[in-house]
């Protein structure tokens, strides 16, 4: 982030639109200026948002096609729910769910850049062998001690997310707003060193909105994205339809699209490099509008520094 002591001097350089992301694996590469969109597909019966659940082959393929057509750069596939209180799924069952669906998707969409949402290194390894291009770990490598070695040895793109506790218990003693930024920063710094020592070079950091944080703590994180950067690595924001929206608005996940759009706008203007979303078309519209706003604001003489005489 480039900051100025003048509170009225804000430029487009402060946003993700000025950065170009490059990630690659398994012969596929994303090289793009501006934020990326990651579409969520949960092949589970119990994810927190019913609209993201897809189990039948035809519905999975239809949703992948829809998301790609609407502008998704990455498709993120999850085989078990990590919502608060969700039931544990065995490694064997996770593999039975994810590997056949992953291969099926690639058979119809061979150019798709696919991420697999898992914290188990054995599942990650088999997913990579089946053609996955990225691993998304809600524990940031802290639940499975073998994950850093796997990611480092292959240098596969890796989303390193912060979580406070475990999915089954994380909201029983969540982080408070005065704790959350330092806790996330410390975790990122520690895990970054660990993964880099193993050879990882394509890390992506996710603050873990909703994972062991109070509602207020989530908003503190969202307003502090510039403080959460770890090196030059990209920052991912996943707030789509989460409790920080529907609890604040006293509504439900199915009625949280408008709130998601508002927070996606704030995240992008705050510097998020990747948005992980349920609703790709609406998020793509956020990116187009924010890009135009940032560009024109930067060009406006009102926000340019006054030349010294």
Burial (CB count within 10 angstroms: exposed 0-12, middle 13-18, buried 19+), residue 114: buried
Task: Please enumerate in sequence order all residues whose Cβ is within 8 A of that of 9, keeping only pairs 6 or more positions apart, or say none.
Answer: 303, 304, 305
Phi-psi region of 11 (alpha: psi -120 to 50; beta: other; left: phi over 0): beta
Tokens representing residue 70 in the block: 């609407």
What is the H or E stretch that residue 291 is in? helix 280-299
DSSP 198: T
Active-site option among 242, 281, 288, 304: 242
Active-site option among 32, 185, 276, 308: 276
Look up 276 and say whether it is catalytic: yes
Roughly what angle, to the nearest 10 degrees, separates helices 91-108 and 57-70?
60
Number of other CB atoms surrounding residue 179 within 10 Å: 15
DSSP 175: B
Look up 96 and say whether it is catalytic: no
DSSP 256-273: -HHHHHHHHHHHHHTT-S
Print burial letters for 217-255: b (CB count within 10 Å at least 16), e (below 16).
bbbbbbebbeebbbeebbbbbbbbbbbbbbeeeeeebee
Query: Which positions are annotated as active-site residues?
Result: 242, 276
């Amino acid at each position: 982030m480039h900051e100025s002591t003048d509170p009225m001097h804000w430029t487009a350089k402060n946003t993700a639109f000025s950065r170009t992301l490059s990630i690659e694996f398994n012969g596929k590469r994303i090289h793009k200026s501006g934020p990326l969109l990651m579409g969520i597909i949960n092949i589970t019966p119990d994810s927190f948002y019913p609209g993201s659940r897809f189990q039948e082959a035809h519905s999975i393929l239809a949703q992948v096609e829809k998301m790609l057509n609407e502008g998704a750069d990455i498709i993120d596939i999850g085989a078990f729910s990590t919502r608060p209180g969700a039931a544990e799924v065995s490694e064997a069952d996770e593999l039975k769910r994810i590997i056949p669906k992953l291969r099926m998707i690639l058979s119809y969409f061979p150019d798709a850049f696919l991420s697999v949402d898992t914290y188990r290194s054995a599942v990650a390894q088999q997913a990579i062998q089946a053609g996955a291009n990225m691993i998304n770990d809600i524990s940031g490598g802290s639940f499975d001690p073998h994950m850093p070695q796997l990611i480092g040895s292959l240098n596969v793109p890796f989303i390193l997310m912060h979580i406070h506790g475990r999915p089954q218990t994380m909201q029983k003693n969540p982080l408070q707003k005065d704790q959350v930024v330092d806790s996330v920063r410390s975790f990122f710094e520690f895990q970054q060193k660990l993964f880099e020592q193993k050879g990882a070079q394509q890390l992506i950091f996710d603050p873990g909105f909703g994972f062991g944080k109070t509602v207020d703590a989530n908003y503190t994180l969202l307003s502090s994205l510039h403080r959460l950067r770890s090196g030059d690595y990209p920052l991912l924001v996943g707030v789509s339809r989460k409790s920080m929206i529907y609890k604040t608005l006293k509504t439900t996940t199915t009625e949280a699209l408008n709130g998601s759009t508002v927070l996606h706008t704030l995240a992008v203007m705050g510097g998020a490099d990747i948005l992980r979303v349920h609703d790709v078309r609406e998020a793509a519209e956020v990116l187009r509008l924010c890009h135009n706003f940032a560009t024109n604001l930067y060009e406006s003489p009102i926000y340019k520094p006054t030349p010294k005489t």
